[in-house]
Amino acid sequence: MKDWIDKLNSFLKFNEREILTNAGSISQDIAEKLATSEYEKCNKRRQVTGKVSVRAGSVAFFICLLDRGV
């Protein structure tokens, strides 16, 4: 898991994004709703264009959710 954290941090630094140092303050319920909303938007774009386009922040968010077993 440490390898993934290091890779993600490198990716975020490269894209001049902030690296979070704590778990934040978002509730699991809100996180699930945000994840579902982002997935639905991405899935609609994929269906229309045939391509997947994901922002770096979304990737980090989903990795965080997977990490927590959501």
Instruction: Give the model confidence (pLDDT) of 32-59 as tens digits.
Output: 888 888 888 877 877 777 766 656 556 6
Q: Please give the Cα distance from 46 to 56 (Å, whole number).
A: 17
> How does DSSP classify residue 69?
T
26: pLDDT confidence band, cut at 50, 70 and 90? confident
Reduce the DSSP state of residue 39 to 3 states and report it: helix
pTM confidence score: 0.43
∠ CA 70-40-9, nearest 5°, is 55
Give buried/exposed letters for 33-65 (b at 16+ CB in 10 A, else e): eebeebeeebeeeeeeeeeeeeeeebebbbebe
